[in-house]
Structure 1
Amino acid sequence: MQHNRAPPPAYPEKLTIALLGKKIQIKKFIGNLILNDQGYFTSESDTLVVRENISVRVINTPDFFDAECPTPDQRIIDFMALSHPGLDLFILVLDPENAREEEVVGQISKLQDVFGEQITKHLVVMFQDRERLHALAHLKEIFNVLLVVPDHLPSQCRDWCQRGHPFVYQYKDYSQDVVLRRKAAIEKRRANNNCGSGDPDETGPATLKHNFATAAPISPSVLPIPDTIFNIVLLGLTGTGKSSSANTILYTGRSKQDIMPFRSEASSIPVTNICDVRVMNKPFGVPVRLVDTPDFFSEDLRNPEAHLEKCRRYCQPGRGVVLLVVQLGRFTDGERGILPKLEKRLGWRIREETILLLTHRDDLKGDLLSHVHTHPDLRGLAEMCGLGFHAFNNKLQDNKQVIKLVKKIPNYKQLFPKIAKKEDNPCHLS
């Protein structure tokens, strides 16, 4: 008698996982745990190496955080080419020597800077001991990452990859054409090597195992693409309305349902505790990076230097505009001299590229210019800001007030041709 048997379930799709971090020995150890065999990663060389079994492909990366690396861009493009068009999971493996909070924040911020803010949705930060993990548990909320210690890694990795779709490269700083050409060169070189006598540098399981073969160096003419995105960076103290103002700009020309807003709420303690970033096209017609920042003078801010370092990347002279946010009717002692203090922390003068942005415009009775000129401290601060001052009513989703702000930016017609074309009818920008 024959029985109808259901076909066996399909084997889960092979995962691609990247190991990141500073110490090659620990990355090797974690890679072998994931592959469930200690013979896969054996070399002491900190190079790009790929190993795989029937269910997992692991890319062990060189140290992307090494400030003395002579060819960091080539390393990054090689990695992107090898894992094109993306991968399932990044694991940042922390060693005890590099697991202090400021170092962890710096490494995560570096990854965001290289691969985009969305990397944290696909990032697992792996500590070697639970004590350190518990000490830094707050980073889970700050960066939206998983914090773990290695346990049953083969099954854990598959569980972690169920959080969402695979990570796909956005080509923020590196051209897709360059990455694809590099991928073709790598595959050609690897095919030629496979015709030879084998792999002299590695020993271990022969099945589904290969070394990354370095192709010819990349021409300097294609490395890297300069970051040409215009930055709008909001600075100011806690409670002034930085995040609400960032949302007012973010909402321009778009429905609130279409975007992920910055976190904003009335509070006497910092709500924004990281440099939070969104990239938008509307209403500008070109990509614009909007950066909400924490209060760099708050005693409640953890690791201020690490966050300042990230902010410095976005508010360098010549790359955008700074909005110094102050609440109308609430000029505090902390805001006296705030612009020179911010310049000292950032390391350069920002005043020539700064607009004083006053919030709670709806509370003002009378003319804004008269109000500023009749308050000496506010007037002094406005005079320091090279691009003048402006006011927002953040209770309104009003395109006009954003367009008026943009028009204070020098050369805005060249920077934002879409606005220049529609400036006579700003409410209908789409």
Structure 2
Amino acid sequence: MSHCKRISVVVLGSEDHLKKALITVIVGKELPLLPKTNVLKKTDIYENDIYEVKCPSDTACDDLKKVFAANHDPDMSLLVVKEGFSPDKVWQQVENLHRITGKPTEKFIVVLPFGCKESDRYPFKCYTMDHLFSELTHLAQDRHLMPTNVRKRITDQHASSTPTSPSPMMEGFTDSRKRLKRNPSGTEVNLVLLGMTGTGKSASGNTILGEKRFTSKASSKPVTTECQQAETVINGRRVRIIDTSDIFYDERKSSSGEHVRKVKELCQSGPCVYLLVIHVSRFTDGERDILEKLGKVFGSKVREQTVILFTRGKDLEQGGMSFEDFLHRCQPDLKKIVEKCGGRCVLFENSDSGPDQVEKLMEIVDRMLK
């Protein structure tokens, strides 16, 4: 194990049981409590091989000043808030922490309750729990604190810990813990979104990420004009989503080669899975030979690395048709594409960002990487 400095985290907030829940998930073990209460014992630090967590009292100015002194500057400062929080009151908390510690307000990250989405409308910096655990993992990996054997040990610790006092916030921690630690392989994968304009590539990328990172809107012309990327962690695997422009769009043929080179460059690290995005209610003439087009660009084996990602799942629901019926009754040319890709396909509804559809996609990806 590397002797790099562990990740230092400060957990703040007025709800003691929520702070306890978060710390429990980070360090992977139950925390000492005062007898017959659910209150954390005063302790210098909660720790494991990777993280060291401090939980000073929000009202003890001296404790806060000490923790945030120049020589004790933490890697992450987290303010835990409860479900139904008031953004104005949370902002007052952040400003109060700024006044006491002298640290900029952006140094304090508000951990949103389960089900909340990040928004630039909040005056404070905030993370969803998936985003938080992704960032914590990235920090540990960047410091070489999470080799495979250590990651497996942390997985076992988290799997065996069952924090008390369940709450909506607690459910979110549990969900994030499962997604972060369930698969200890640590394999990286690149998911490349490909397809025609208007099929929902960027929206699908946002669904996989669990947050809006790519610009997505209805348009007859490409909205994504440059190759973009964003990362997350799903099932313990670092996942890089690569959103592409329509490389077959006639008006952009002159720049498609540049986009392809960028995609190949990004895919040099880690295995690559292509997600061919197709609108479930609109199969066009330009898509009939799309696998052949992709083969010319990415090589003849591209179909072996491709999953068909159908979008607009609600269109089938409104038509009273199951996904299985759709695949059985779809146009012959579309059916051939599915067959050439080994029947690997998944249905997305990007207006519903529930985890099940992403889980189904990642199950397919997992099988492809084995």
Which TM-score band (shorter chain)? 0.3 to 0.5
Report the TM-score when normalising by structure 1.
Answer: 0.40
Larger Rg: 1
TM-score under structure 2 normalisation? 0.46
Greater helix share, structure number:
2
